[in-house]
Amino acid sequence: MALAVTGTVGIDTVYTPDGDHREHVLGGSCTYFAAAANFYGPVRIVGAVGDDFPDDLRSTFDRFNNIDTAGLETRKGSKTFRWGGKYQENMDHRDTLFTELNVLAEAPPPVPESYRDSTMVFLANTHPAVQLDMLSRFPDRKLAVADTMDLWINTERETLTQLVKQIDGLVLNYDEAEQLTGMKNTVAAARELVSWGPAFVVVKKGEHGCIFAHRDGIAALPAFPAERVIDPTGAGDTFAGGMFGHLCRATDAGALTNLTDFDVLRRALAHGTVMASFTIEDFSLDRLATLTQEDIDRRYDEFARMMHL
């Protein structure tokens, strides 16, 4: 299995409620996803940055052994995507301070020829038309999952609906699931979205875990109980990265044959939960950059034990 992720690579500025902050740190959906998936095996990224992208941020990718950056285009004369946000006191909501789309507002990056044989594709959040286009670049895909956001639900509902019909799984936040379906109940909204076409839908609820709706059933997973949350940025993308990483590694190990099996995906979501629980422990990729396989295995075991009745 070869795993690819398409999405954003950006420069973040993050303020936390206790007054701490970080300026110009590495961010973006692609980045977080890849950093998490990297612990399970090779991951290919497709994204674009401007020629202002600083070397010290670029070198962060090298701290992760398994990230293939052949698909990270550096576009001359363009500027890198920048985002700034401030978390509210409960850490569950954030205010966007600024969004400079820059290179994201231009044509999407090309997908390298070397990526064409990718069998697992995660389309991190971006314009659904770009996601549809990206989808077509991976003719050998066996699993395609997309994330989205409120902006596209408001402005590009038709294209988004088209996308949802062509993918195996959709990942989105609880308020977005409500917005997309008009249903207040998260479980009902998730089930409704499954009826639109995909084999499964994962509704993310931050500190409250996720709801997993699947053709063959429904499940709920708690988040790993975290006593100290420093920066939740990227938690959702590392969640998806851990999920895909596990699916990819388990398939390669011959441990599973059906990527969209209910129980297989449930276990993958637990891996996603564990990876997200590390991300929030520090700013940007700081915690993931120092993470060991032993850390991950220990927390996964703890989570599984916690869940076992």
Where do contacts with a copy of itself occur on this chain (CB under 8 A)? 89-91, 184-188, 191, 205, 207-209, 211, 217-229, 266-267, 270, 303-304, 306-309
Cβ proximity to a copy of itself, 125 vs 173, nearer residue: 173
Instruction: Please list, in sequence order, all residues whose beta carbon lies within 8 angstroms of the beta carbon of residue 107, skipping any fewer than 6 positions away.
Output: none
Cβ proximity to a copy of itself, 156 vs 302, nearer residue: 302
DSSP H or E stretch at residue 171: strand 169-173
What are the start-end ranges of the H helices in 105-173?
A: 128-136, 150-155, 157-166
Cβ proximity to a copy of itself, 45 vs 280, nearer residue: 280
For the bound state, the minimum distance from the C-beta of residue 246 to a copy of itself, rounded and expressed in Å, comes to 11
For the bound state, the minimum distance from the C-beta of residue 209 to a copy of itself, rounded and expressed in Å, comes to 6
As a whole number of angstroms, the distance between CA 113 and CA 55 comes to: 25
For the bound state, the minimum distance from the C-beta of residue 193 to a copy of itself, rounded and expressed in Å, comes to 13
CB count within 10 Å of CB 182 equals: 8
As a whole number of angstroms, the distance between CA 139 and CA 272 comes to: 26
What are the start-end ranges of the H helices in the chain?
A: 29-37, 55-58, 128-136, 150-155, 157-166, 174-181, 186-194, 235-252, 262-279, 286-289, 293-307
For the bound state, the minimum distance from the C-beta of residue 104 to a copy of itself, rounded and expressed in Å, comes to 33
3-state percent helix, strand, coil for the chain, nearest multiple of 5: 40, 25, 35
For the bound state, the minimum distance from the C-beta of residue 274 to a copy of itself, rounded and expressed in Å, comes to 10
DSSP 191: H
For the bound state, the minimum distance from the C-beta of residue 89 to a copy of itself, rounded and expressed in Å, comes to 6
The closest of 41, 46, 44, 39 to 9, measured between CA atoms, is 46
CB count within 10 Å of CB 263 equals: 13
Cβ proximity to a copy of itself, 44 vs 214, nearer residue: 214
Place of tokens 């995660």: 122
DSSP 202: E
For the bound state, the minimum distance from the C-beta of residue 309 to a copy of itself, rounded and expressed in Å, comes to 4
For the bound state, the minimum distance from the C-beta of residue 304 to a copy of itself, rounded and expressed in Å, comes to 4
Cβ proximity to a copy of itself, 67 vs 172, nearer residue: 172
As a whole number of angstroms, the distance between CA 228 and CA 74 comes to: 36
Cβ proximity to a copy of itself, 76 vs 308, nearer residue: 308
Cβ proximity to a copy of itself, 54 vs 217, nearer residue: 217
